[in-house]
Amino acid sequence: MLITLNRERKSSFTALGSLRACIALFTLLSFHCFSAFAYLPTAPTALETKTVRSAKVIKGSFSKDKALDKTSPSTQMTNAAILLYHHVSTKTPSSTSVTPDTFKSHMEYIAINHTVLPLTDVVNALQQNEPLPENAVAITFDDGYANILENAHPILKKLGFSYTVFINPDEIGVAPQQLTWEEVKRMQGEGVIFANHTLDHLHMLNDEFTDENWLERVFENVEAAEKKIDSELGVSLKYLAYPFGEYNLALAAKLEENGYVGFGQHSGAVGETSNLLALPRFPAAGPYANLKTLKTKLNSLAMPVVHTTHAEPRVRSNTLSDTITLTVDEEDVSLNQVNCFYFGQNIKTLVDNDKVSFSIDNVLPVGRSRVNCTAPSKSMAGRFYWYSMPFFLADGDGRYPD
């Protein structure tokens, strides 16, 4: 069945009855601002001014990216790349870590070539369908590790960059390597945004089919975490980053019903057709820390998918027998040059006007996998539209691996 997506964004979440129209958008791509004001297109903010000064200071290390200079002038659009980090350290698991030196190189490149905004500004623009500055970026961390304060915070503070940390409140000051509440409050006082990552980093889809109270149980965890953050920090954004990036349509519907915004771990830029219940973020650590490839992602555009035949990311079988078809608003998308990949391998695609179809012949692994598709922009040289579709498969006991 073809699911039609609603491309018109409203300032508030729609009623649950319109869920099917907006939830299918999940397939779109795998320090809070020092000024209290949102970004104003016609007047630079204090944050922007500080970032410009910082860019001048580090210009000896980085110059303006020539690839971006080739980009033709474009009208303002609602588009941003959201980066995802976990550890900034040389002593933590390599798969989720970036070294302080590499992280610094990321931030110095961004200072020259991009505009860093608070995550709240990006979300507000998506909700209101308002334009963002060209090459907008938001920076996020998951899990609240102490090395964020030790190794990342000084770099970000020096550059005047806003950033957000999604924390597990029951782990703060308790689990090894975690920030303390005293440190969290000090960071908040210096402009860092904190948001919800569940109480204790649970696999939210565990036991979905065996526990009849599954949805109520996991959402109680979300609400308890939100209340604890509000109690400790006096703020309740109702932003939830799904642990491990795992979610399904029922969970997303529950978030929408209660006014939350959801963030995944599948890649891609965010734009006017993005699903506010599963916003993509680009992982920028581990195997994704290479600055050369990160540059392309930072400069990417949200693929304007308006229909999909596969809306549910949680799958119940390790094989997908049906062809998946996407309908794309292809006015500026060179669909004839689309490339889709699964586990790094190019998969065959069929393009028919505004439709892109593909199938996955591989056996899906237990846990997490995804398809990534890219296609060049017709009007903006060197920029690519990016789309990511995640798949989540439980083991025989209905549970998910770390």
Q: What is the pLDDT of residues 189-212, one digit of tens each?
A: 999 999 999 999 999 999 999 999
User: What residue spans of 234-365 are helical by DSSP H?
Assistant: 249-257, 291-298
Q: Which domains does the chain have, with CATH numbers?
A: 3-306 (3.20.20.370), 313-393 (2.60.40.1220)
pLDDT band for 230, please (50, 70, 90 cuts).
Answer: very high
DSSP states along 145-174: BHHIIIIIHHHHHHHT---EEEE-TTTTTT
DSSP H helical ranges for 66-139: 66-69, 100-113, 119-128
- Residue 297 near residue 268, CB atoms below 8 Å: no
| Tally of helices (H runs) and strands (E runs) in the chain | 11, 22
Vertex 41 angle, CA 38 and 46, to 5°: 50
Q: Is the pLDDT confidence value at 62 over 80?
A: no
114-140: pLDDT as tens digits? 999 999 999 999 999 999 999 999 999
Q: What are phi and psi of 340, to 5 degrees?
A: -120, 145
Other Cβ atoms within 10 Å of 317 Cβ, number = 9
> What is the rounded average pLDDT for all residues in the chain?
86
**Mean pLDDT in residue range 250-260:** 98
Task: Please report the beta strands in 1-71, taking only residues with DSSP state E, as ranges in sequence order.
Answer: 3-4
The C-alpha angle 289, 243, 124, rounded to 5 degrees, equals 80
Contacts of 3 (CB under 8 A, 6+ apart): 20, 24, 307, 308, 309, 311
Give the residue-averaged pLDDT of 345-367: 96
Query: Residue 283 pLDDT more than 70?
Result: yes
Can you name the residues that pair with 270 across neighbouring β-strands? 80
Q: Note whether 320 and 359 are within 8 A (CB).
A: yes
Q: What is the pTM of this model?
A: 0.85
**325, 309 Cβ separation under 8 angstroms:** yes
DSSP 204: T
Where does the pLDDT of residue 368 fall: very low under 50, low under 70, confident under 90, or very high at 90 and above? very high
Q: What pLDDT is attached to residue 293?
A: 95
Mean pLDDT of the 57-71 span: 50
Report yes or no: 192 and 163 within 8 Å, Cβ to Cβ. yes
> Is the model's pLDDT at 70 over the cut of 80?
no
**Above 60 in pLDDT, residue 67?**
no
Radius of gyration from C-alpha coordinates of the chain: 20
3-state secondary structure (DSSP) of residue 386: strand
Identify the DSSP state of 129: T
Rounded distance, CA 96 to CA 285, Å? 6
**In percent, how much of the chain has pLDDT > 90?**
80
In percent, the amount of the chain with pLDDT more than 70 equals: 81
**pLDDT value for 15:** 38
Convert the pLDDT of each residue in 72-101 to its tens digit. 444 579 999 999 999 999 999 999 999 999
Q: Around Cβ 215, how many Cβ atoms within 10 Å?
A: 16
Nearest CA to 269 among 312, 299, 293? Answer: 299
- Can you tell me the mean pLDDT for 11-21? 37
Q: Identify the pLDDT of residue 68.
A: 54
371 pLDDT exceeds 60?
yes
Tokens found for residue 402 = 């770390």
pLDDT tens readout for residues 325-348: 999 999 999 999 999 999 989 999
